């Protein structure tokens, strides 16, 4: 395995870590407005309060790894998706403000406004992440210098928009499972009933998206002929681990249900990686202009130096994240210091 492939895997691992961790707190934000009582909404905020900003470290780390290892891919993606990334940044900032400001005043109107901001920011962030992934899968117009030659509206085609909806459904399911693990009593019983809605909605979107991909993306279909066994195994496992979630919830094994949800997201990212490798940004309609792990990467020397830095940095990120989750383990309670 060459260094380019190792870095492709490493960037994928970091972005998968972000999807697993920030995915559930974005999902909690999307579910926020469906909980009516102020006490229950505070419980939801307390469930993600100690970890939501730390989860975004994985996005920063993944972006940094992409910049260091594949600078041309980074430049093309960020210039092509500039407006979308600005919207994503705005939604994340607005969402963070909502979390911090909501509890500063007890007024109903004040809290309702910030509740709306929290939910809209969370849904918009999840939706835009899905739209970006949809465009990477579908392909974007690149010229011979690997420059993006499209526009923002061109990125909003039905295929990418549907993956945005699928991503929102995925994060809502993931956030629902996390909240069941962190709550108890009547709120937990309500969240357990929601599992019967969030999982079927996500699986339906997931299956429709995969069928759509086969018919709409010839370059993905050709990859399926090259790697039918690998893609088939990962696809079946992705469906099975998600189907295992209600079983674990029914048996009261909430941590295992959350791990199943994480495994489902990991397998989904693996399915995506196997479908696009070695391409990183597919050029549509001219595949010859695509950016892959070789024509978009740094020099061999840079990849080697960054590899040794990653061997030190990634374990630090994993250790930091593990410590935070261990310290704030267990059920959440409302106290005077709560949100």
Q: What is the pLDDT of residue 208?
A: 93
Domain membership flag for residue 337: no
Q: What is the pLDDT of residue 224?
A: 85
Predicted confidence at residue 168, as pLDDT, reads 96
Three-state DSSP state, 336: coil
pLDDT at 191 over 90: yes
User: Which of 183-187, 282-286, 335-339 has the weakest average pLDDT?
Assistant: 335-339
52-89 tens-digit pLDDT: 888 888 888 888 899 989 999 999 988 888 888 899 99
* Predicted pLDDT at 54: 87
Enter the pTM of the model. Answer: 0.93
* Closest C-alpha among 29, 14, 319 to residue 168: 29
Domain count, the chain: 1
- Closest listed residue to residue 269, CA positions, set 1, 10, 4, 3: 10
Q: Judge whether 237 lies within some domain.
A: yes
Q: Which domain holds residue 207?
A: 3-328
Does 8 fall in a domain? Answer: yes
Q: Which tokens belong to 112?
A: 């309702």
24 touches 177 (CB < 8 A): yes
DSSP H helices, the chain, are: 3-31, 38-48, 52-55, 57-69, 71-80, 82-101, 108-138, 158-182, 185-216, 218-226, 228-250, 254-276, 300-327
Q: In this predicted structure, what is the pLDDT of residue 170?
A: 94
Beta-bridged to residue 292, according to DSSP, are 279
Give dist(CA 138, CA 215) in Å, integer.
11
> Is residue 339 in some structural domain?
no
pLDDT, tens only, 264-320: 999 999 999 999 988 999 998 889 999 999 998 999 999 999 899 888 888 988 898
Q: For 89-140, what is each residue's pLDDT tens digit? A: 999 998 989 998 988 888 889 999 999 999 999 999 999 999 999 999 899 9
> CA-to-CA distance for 148 and 141, rounded, in angstroms?
6
CA dihedral over 233, 17, 157, 74, signed as positive or negative: negative
Domain membership of residue 338 (yes or no) is: no
Residue 105 within a domain: yes
Instruction: Please indicate, yes or no, if residue 228 is contained in any of the structural domains.
Output: yes
């Amino acid at each position: 395995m060459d260094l380019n492939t190792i870095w492709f895997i490493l960037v994928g691992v970091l972005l998968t870590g972000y999807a697993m961790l920030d995915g559930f707190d974005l999902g909690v934000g999307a579910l926020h407005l469906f909980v009516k009582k102020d006490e229950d909404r505070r419980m939801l905020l307390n469930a993600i309060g100690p970890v939501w900003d730390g989860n975004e470290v994985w996005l920063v780390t993944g972006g940094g790894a992409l910049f260091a290892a594949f600078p041309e891919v980074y430049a093309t993606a960020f210039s092509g998706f500039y407006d979308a990334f600005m919207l994503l940044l705005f939604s994340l900032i607005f969402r963070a403000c909502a979390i911090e400001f909501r509890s500063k005043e007890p007024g109903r109107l004040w809290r309702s406004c910030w509740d709306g901001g929290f939910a809209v920011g969370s849904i918009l962030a999840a939706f835009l992440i899905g739209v970006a992934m949809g465009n990477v899968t579908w392909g974007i117009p690149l010229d011979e210098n690997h420059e993006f030659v499209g526009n923002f509206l061109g990125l909003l085609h039905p295929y990418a928009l549907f993956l945005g909806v699928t991503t929102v459904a995925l994060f809502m399911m993931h956030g629902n499972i996390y909240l069941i693990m962190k709550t108890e009593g009547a709120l937990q019983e309500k969240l357990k009933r929601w599992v019967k809605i969030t999982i079927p909605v996500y699986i339906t979107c997931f299956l429709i998206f995969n069928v759509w991909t086969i018919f709409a993306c010839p370059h993905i279909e050709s990859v399926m002929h090259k790697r039918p066994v690998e893609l088939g195994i990962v696809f079946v496992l992705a469906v099975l681990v998600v189907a295992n979630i209600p079983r674990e919830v029914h048996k009261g094994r909430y941590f295992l249900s959350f791990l199943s949800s994480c495994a489902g997201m990991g397998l989904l990212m693996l399915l995506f990686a196997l479908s696009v490798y070695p391409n990183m940004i597919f050029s549509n309609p001219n595949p010859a202009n695509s950016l892959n792990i070789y024509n978009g990467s740094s020099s061999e020397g840079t990849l080697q130096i960054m590899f040794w830095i990653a061997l030190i940095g990634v374990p630090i990120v994993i250790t930091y994240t593990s410590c935070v989750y261990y310290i704030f383990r267990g059920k959440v309670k409302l106290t005077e210091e709560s949100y």
